Structure 1
């Protein structure tokens, strides 16, 4: 039997804390005892708020942040970095948001495990890393000096001080169907009418085009030959697969001013240096690596009696590597700096033509 001591008559009744007070005391104890073990959510929130205030975070997609740096990168890829156009910046951000939505949906469908997607991701990663490395290496390429620029201008008057505009009419046909017997027909009518009639009668397929081109648009060999021609003169350009007959319909002088010429020459020389440096880097990396080809690509392996990099080089229009047997005589193995001024959309198949005969 439990005995209780009698309570004095004047003693105060015992204090029994209520449930609310107990909960408050427990919360206080937990805060004091466990506070050091819990993450500082206030500081994290403060950091997030500071990032938002600094303008670094410009959007969130399902909790994932998009920063102003990503927007600037998007603008840079579009060639619009530094643009004050609000519409361009908005479009860049919306493009990022759309990509993230699509990527999140793809992840939810586990498409990241699809073999094709895996291969594409690897290729994209290699491309980004390769471009970053190339840009790093090309950063050391120096600008051409004013002396080099002026010397280049003096050596290439048809690109600058003696630049011309040509109106040319072009007939392109298979080389196997071309013979010198067609030559008298070139001048029988000013627009190749008699020549075209003969081709149609012989069942020879051909294409016709008329365009206006600057002398700087043509490869050097063609440019030099055109400079020797007058109005209504013809130029025949032959490759193994196609032959073109050009008729000059008009010539207009279009020289560049000194400042314009220097700007253009600087660009050509700098691009040529970048191209050559990149080519040298490619060859150096290939020389240090162990590369082997298999199966249908076995023919790419160097033969025992040839240098490992001999096959690496530009191809002529018919696929023969420059310098290999079968390449047209007179074809240049490597274009000079002025080749950067050529326009790939110039008269079809002019680029890389190995022979040019003036008629």
Structure 2
């Protein structure tokens, strides 16, 4: 298997900037590299605009920089043309557009403040990373790839016992689905192949305890959810490969804690008055009432037994595990 190459972000940005500057350079060798990449009517698109977009592209390699920069430039030209036409039609003064601009501005400024707060968070120690690895065997040492089927059933609480009994007696989820159809139960289903880190962290412990062929039932707002484990296969991850994902998760977890603490202090030090219909804020929803097993992302309807699990990556994908751990 070919080795994956990872480039430090600073080096990548430098390579991208150099490639874009060369592309924007004038014809004479004595001319200084221009910061203008293109002119659209009377407006300019600069190298800095291109670099800003490129820096937000994950996985971009230095050798791809020049081609990527030209693609970005073409998109920026299209965008500039649209902006100019919108301004000509005074769309930038439309109340709805102004409101969206202000909302985006507030979001960007608030995010900048949050990022600034999190900059001082210390990285976890080797001992903390090792401790997390040991405490989460379902994610690492005992990691599995799961082939899952799920049914969302509309039912009344008094029907739950009957449904559970039929599920226990059924030889397969398809047989149970046939019973639901025959008895006019409304339901929807999906199936998916997921690695441990792609499952909601709150549900992983419960799913990891299931054996192939097991099912678990949980309440849902409109009835009940049945999760069926069609099959699974072991694919453990050692601590060395898991370390980057664990470190990223713990850092983000600490950032979230620092931000919440800071916002709490800001609230306590500020005068906040609820007005009108918001004068009596509604009580927060009881988290304990949430289903124990969170629904899977829908992939396909359940009509036949699930296909064989798709091959998963041989290594642990830090992006996937961070997402499974609850990171955004």
| Cα pair 2:197 2:322 within 8 Å, conserved | no
Q: Distance in 2 between matches of 1:195 and 1:102?
A: 54
* Structure-2 separation of matches of 1:341 and 1:125: 26
Contact 1:185/1:194 (CA < 8 Å) preserved in 2? no
Distance 1:65-1:287 versus aligned 2 partners, 3 A rule: farther
Task: Say if 1:190 and 1:232, in contact at 8 Å, map to a contact too.
Answer: no
Q: 2:107 & 2:118 partners in 1: Cα distance? A: 16
Match of 2:17 in 1: none
Secondary structure of the 1:251 match is: strand
Is the Cα contact below 8 Å between 1:175 and 1:238 reproduced in 2?
A: no
For residues 290-329 of structure 1, the aligned pairs below 5 Å read 290-300=271-281, 311=284, 320-322=285-287, 327-328=288-289
1:226 counterpart residue number: 207
* 97 and 283 in structure 1: CA distance in 2 versus 1, 3 angstrom threshold: farther
Give, in whole Å, the separation in 2 of the partners of 1:57 and 1:340: 38
In structure 2, the partner of 1:158 is 138
Give, in whole Å, the separation in 1 of the partners of 2:203 and 2:251: 23
Question: What 5-or-longer segments of structure 2 have no aligned partner?
Answer: 1-27, 293-320
Partner of 1:54: 33
CA 1:343–1:245: 2 relative to 1, 3 Å: farther
Match of 1:158, SS state, is coil
Match of 1:229, SS state, is coil
TM-score calculated relative to the size of structure 2:
0.69
Rounded Cα–Cα distance in structure 2 between residues aligned with 1:108 and 1:193: 59
Corresponding residue for residue 253 of structure 1: 234
Alignment check: 8 A CA contact 1:160 1:261 kept: yes
CA RMSD between the two structures: 3.3
Deviation at 1:255, TM superposition (A): 0.4
Quote how far apart the aligned CAs of 1:163 are.
0.9
Check whether the contact 1:72–1:81 (CA below 8 A) recurs between aligned residues.
no
The separation in 1 between residues aligned to 2:144 and 2:227, in whole angstroms, is 16
2:122 aligned counterpart, secondary structure? coil
Q: Comparing 67-76 with 132-141, which one deviates more in the overlay?
A: 132-141
Verify: 1:342 aligned to 2:324, yes or no.
yes
Among 48, 66, 91, the residue aligned to 2:45 = 66
What corresponds to 1:205 in structure 2? 186
Match of 1:134 in 2: 114
Alignment CA distance shift 1:67-1:285 (3 Å):
farther
* C-alpha displacement of 1:288: 3.8
How far off is 1:171 after superposition?
1.9
SS in 1 for 2:138: helix
Pair 1:71–1:198, CA change in 2 (3 A):
same
Q: Distance in 2 between matches of 1:169 and 1:275?
A: 33
What residue is the counterpart of 1:238 in the other structure? 219
Q: 1:83 to 1:298 in 2, by over 3 A?
A: farther
Q: 1:69 offset after TM fit, Å?
A: 1.4
Secondary structure of 1:231's aligned partner? coil
Worse overlay, 175-184 or 201-210? 175-184
Pick from 36, 51, 55 the counterpart of residue 76 of structure 1: 55
Q: How much has 1:152 moved relative to structure 2?
A: 0.4
Question: 1:296 deviation in Å?
Answer: 4.7
Q: In 1, Cα distance between the equivalents of 2:220 and 2:261?
A: 29
Deviations 1:73-100 (A, max 9, x none): 1222344776542231112222222332
1:108 counterpart = 2:65: no
Question: Which runs of 5 or more residues in structure 1 are unaligned?
Answer: 1-48, 302-309, 312-319, 332-338, 345-359
Q: What TM-score, normalized to structure 1?
A: 0.64
SS at match of 2:32: helix
